[in-house]
Structures are given as C-alpha cells and as structure tokens.
Amino acid sequence: MNEHPAATGLPDEDEAWEMRVDLVSRRLTFPPTPDIAGQVRARLDRPRMRARARAVRAAAVVAIALLLAVLLIPDLRSRALDFLQIGAVRFVESPTGTPVATRSGREPQAPGVLPSVLDLPGETTLDAARQTATFPIRLPTYPPDLGLPDRVFMPTPDGGTVVLVWLEPGNPGAVRLSLYALGPGNLALKFEAPIEGSSVDQHLALWVTAPHEFMIPVGPGELLRLTVTTPVLIWEQDSVTYRLEGNLTLDDARRIAESLE
C-alpha cells in the first residue's frame, strides 16, 4: 500500500511544483523596476522650473535697470554705487564725483598706467596658466575662427587673475578681443557714461560702451591702470568674474560669453 507523502515527510505534487517554480524564479534576473512616478514628476516640474528661472532673470534685470536709473540722479548715485557690484568688480564714487574702481578696503596708490593690455606683466603660456590658475580657464568657441588666444597673461603671482588676448589676423600689435578672468577679490571699473544691464546664461551682466579706466591688481596693494576705449561686458559665473573687451556689439559679446567652455 502506497504511503501518503505527508506520512513520509516528502512534499506532495503541488508542493513540489511550487518549490520548483520558486527555485527557477530565484535564478532569473529581472530588470529593475523603472521609476515611472519619478519620471512623470520630473516632466511636470520642468515647466515650473523654467517659469521660475524666467521669473528670477526678469527680476534681476528689473533690479539692475532700477539701479542704473538711480545712477543718473546725483543725490542718490553715491549711495547706489556703494552696493553696485558683480563678482569681483565693484563700483564706488571717487572724490571728484567720477565712479572709479578700488580694491576692497584699500585706495590705489598712484597706480601705473599701461598703454595696452599687451603691456601687462606676467606673460605665460595657456598650458602654464591652466596649471597655475586657481580656477578652470574657459575659452570661447564663438566665433568659429577665433581659435586659441595669441597672448596669455597672469599679472598676479597667486594665479587669481588670467587675461587672454586674441590679436587681429596679420597685425600682431592690434587686439581683436581680450577676456579677463578674475578670481574672488574686489576690483573696480571707472566709467563716465550710463551702464546698460544685460545677462549671460541667465547671469546678470553689465555692458559699458563709453571709454573708461580699469584697474587690475598685479600684487598686494599694487594696481595697474588701463584705459579702455572699446565696449566691455562684465558678468560672474561659477565664482569667476569675466570682462570681455573688444570692438563688439552687445549681441556678439553675449554670444561669445555664452560660448565659454
């Protein structure tokens, strides 16, 4: 007489089938369950994030426009200049009433005057500058024919300032455009005309078209002064302040600035 499986301690037919299914399922590799809810949530959040970014950008442009309008009122200009600053560039009122640049907490002591950016001290190579600079050196990819800079300067020994210069083709004495990359610190710009507010990759920017003077540090407490006669675009990105100078329109300057990589 055959014994019932329970009496022998062996699994019955149904239990044996379940055991085989369980064993096979453990050996199979299932793909991870996709995060469908997270993907849907991300898609829903994108329009909100874009709307928020547009709102922040619009608010910044409005704020700088109001501030620049205040600069036209003599009684309010000196107070406004106390907090007009983008990154390492700060604007202050000079004793003569002309906005000039200084280093934070220090007035420039008879700074030297350079006739051209090509007379800056500390000329080096791009490779050497990349090894010494305290921040990544980014280069513009626009216009396509620009290529690598023809001259590179590191006027401060600490690697906190890099100046890249492109020359006019066939004319080594003529500057096509120059790009200043300034690490943390307070520099300033002298200007004698209204400043136009703009933006670079949704970062607040200033556009200066009138001739002015710019003071650049070359050592502790030492400044050199350059007279700038071409338009300048100033903005801050990733804790680095950029100054793009050249005979450019605002649209071209913004396009160059937004091509940095």
pLDDT tens digits in sequence order for the chain, 261 residues long: 555 545 555 556 666 556 655 555 555 554 555 666 666 566 656 666 666 656 655 555 555 554 454 444 444 444 444 445 665 555 555 444 444 443 333 444 444 678 899 999 999 999 999 999 999 999 999 999 999 999 999 998 888 899 999 999 999 899 999 999 988 765 655 555 567 888 999 888 889 888 877 878 777 767 788 888 899 999 989 989 899 999 999 999 999 999 999
Please report where in the chains the tokens 């050249």 appear, as a residue.
Answer: 246
**Residue closest to 84 by CA, chosen among 182, 215, 211, 189:** 189
Task: Quote the tokens at residue 124.
Answer: 């080096």
| 108, 223 contact by CB (below 8 A) | yes
Supply 227's token pair: 């007279």
For residue 80, what are the CA distances in angstroms to 34, 83, 86?
A: 54, 6, 13
Q: Kindly give the pairing relationship between strand 161-168 and strand 212-219.
A: unpaired
Query: What's the pLDDT score for residue 240?
Result: 92
Distance CA 24, CA 20 (A): 6
pLDDT tens per residue across span 64-94? 554 454 444 444 444 444 445 665 555 555 4
Alpha helices in 10-146 (DSSP H): 13-27, 36-70, 74-81, 126-132
In this structure, are residues 253 and 244 in contact, taking their beta carbons and an 8 Å threshold? Answer: yes
Hey, which residues does 208 pair with through a beta bridge? 232
Give the CA diameter of the chain: 120
Phi, psi of 185 (to 5 degrees): 145, 160
Backbone phi and psi for residue 117, each to the nearest 5 degrees, phi listed first: -60, -25
The percent of residues above 70 in pLDDT, for the chain, comes to 53
φ, ψ of residue 3 in degrees (nearest 5): -85, 150
- Whose tokens are 């910044």? That residue is 60
d(CA 180, CA 111): 19
Mean pLDDT score across all residues of the chain: 73
